[in-house]
């Protein structure tokens, strides 16, 4: 995704929270074997798991994002095992007990053909009995009504690790016909510099996700609300899928 090449230098300011870290750490430990993080980016989750001594490999489409990860790993005296690849087609000469995609990364697949290619590729890289974990999103009625142009969602006032202040403005334009959400992120640094990034995500309904998992040969397809294994209801926004090969 070109947007992540553009965003790499400031990605850690835009996506800085780690509310999901403990969930992936627990799952990686339970896997008791090699782990693969797809869309590992600058290492928000990856480096934490690697620092715990877990056998984790990472793949990401953006070379610049991986460059940031490697730079941070060096500062932490860690040796990452990461490579550039597309989730639909990467090929590694080994299989994993656990594959996970954090932060709704799977939603960058914009149509069913892309989704099926990615799911099939994940399954091919799993050991028998291995698990795939995907994080998807269930938009609110309000978000689905933000059509025909960019609508402001929220402003965040934040503090960088160096103590400087910055802000993020989030915008959304939802195309109901194509079922694609276009997001714009506007970053304003304390020194006055401004940056703008746009990306597209495609929301996937729960019935469709279950159907695709089954068609790709996954078993024991489980669905949770959030990262504490909660029960899914109509108000759940963060959906966690766990499927077994």
Residue 115 contacts residue 52 (beta carbons within 8 Å): no
Asked if 114 and 16 sit in the same domain, the reply is yes
The pLDDT of residue 126: 98
The pLDDT of residue 2: 86
Q: Which residues form the domain of 161? A: 141-201
Asked if 48 and 118 sit in the same domain, the reply is yes
Cα separation, 213 vs 119, in Å, equals 7
The pLDDT of residue 17: 87
Per-residue pLDDT of 68-94, as tens digits, reads: 999 999 999 999 999 999 999 999 989
What value does the mean pLDDT take over residues 38-44? 97
State the total domains in the chain.
2
How distant is the alpha carbon of residue 102 from its chain centre?
4
Cα separation, 211 vs 188, in Å, equals 42
Asked if 75 and 109 sit in the same domain, the reply is yes
Q: Say which DSSP state 231 is in.
A: P
Asked if 235 and 147 sit in the same domain, the reply is no
The pLDDT of residue 16: 85
Asked if residue 1 has pLDDT above 80, the reply is: no
Asked if 16 and 108 sit in the same domain, the reply is yes
> Can you give the pTM of this predicted structure?
0.96
Asked if 23 and 107 sit in the same domain, the reply is yes
- Reading the block at residue 200, the tokens are 């597209």
Per-residue pLDDT of 137-193, as tens digits, reads: 999 999 999 999 999 999 999 999 999 999 999 999 999 999 999 999 999 999 999
Residue 190 contacts residue 164 (beta carbons within 8 Å): yes
Residue 56 contacts residue 49 (beta carbons within 8 Å): yes
The pLDDT of residue 201: 97
Dihedral of CA 103/108/114/117: which sign? negative
Asked if 134 and 85 sit in the same domain, the reply is yes
Asked if 212 and 237 sit in the same domain, the reply is yes
Cβ within 8 Å of residue 154, ≥6 positions away: 169, 170
Asked if 153 and 122 sit in the same domain, the reply is no
Secondary structure E strands in 90-237: 96-101, 126-137, 151-159, 165-175, 180-189, 194-201, 219-225
Per-residue pLDDT of 197-241, as tens digits, reads: 999 999 999 999 999 999 999 999 999 999 999 999 989 999 999
Per-residue pLDDT of 53-62, as tens digits, reads: 999 999 999 9
Residue 113 contacts residue 88 (beta carbons within 8 Å): no
Asked if 57 and 124 sit in the same domain, the reply is yes
**CATH number (domain holding residue 107):** 3.40.50.150
Per the rule left: phi > 0, alpha: psi between -120 and 50, beta: everything else, 237 is alpha
Cβ within 8 Å of residue 96, ≥6 positions away: 33, 34, 35, 36, 57, 125, 126, 127, 130
Q: Which residues, listed in sequence order, are joined to residue 38 by a DSSP beta bridge?
A: 59
Asked if 107 and 216 sit in the same domain, the reply is yes
Asked if 9 and 103 sit in the same domain, the reply is yes
């Amino acid at each position: 995704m070109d947007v992540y090449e553009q965003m790499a230098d400031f990605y850690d300011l835009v996506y800085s929270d780690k509310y999901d870290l403990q969930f992936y750490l627990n799952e990686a430990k339970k896997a008791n074997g090699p782990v693969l993080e797809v869309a590992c980016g600058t290492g928000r989750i990856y480096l934490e798991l690697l620092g715990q001594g877990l056998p984790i490999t990472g793949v990401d489409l953006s070379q610049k994002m991986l460059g940031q990860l490697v730079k941070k790993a060096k500062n932490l005296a860690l040796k990452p095992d990461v490579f550039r690849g597309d989730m639909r087609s990467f090929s590694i000469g080994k299989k994993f007990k656990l594959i996970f995609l954090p932060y709704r990364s799977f939603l960058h697949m914009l149509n069913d053909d892309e989704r099926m290619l990615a799911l099939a590729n994940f399954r091919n890289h799993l050991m028998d009995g291995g698990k795939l974990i995907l994080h998807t999103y269930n938009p609110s009625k309000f978000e689905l009504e933000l059509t025909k142009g960019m609508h402001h969602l929220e402003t965040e006032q934040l503090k960088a690790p160096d103590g400087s202040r910055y802000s993020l403005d989030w915008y959304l334009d939802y195309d109901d016909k194509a079922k694609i959400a276009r997001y714009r992120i506007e970053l304003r640094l304390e020194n006055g510099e401004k940056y703008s990034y746009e990306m597209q995500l495609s929301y996937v309904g729960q019935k469709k996700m279950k159907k695709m998992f089954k068609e790709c040969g996954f078993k024991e397809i489980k669905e949770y609300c959030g990262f504490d294994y909660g029960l899914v209801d109509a108000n759940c926004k963060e959906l966690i899928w766990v499927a077994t090969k």
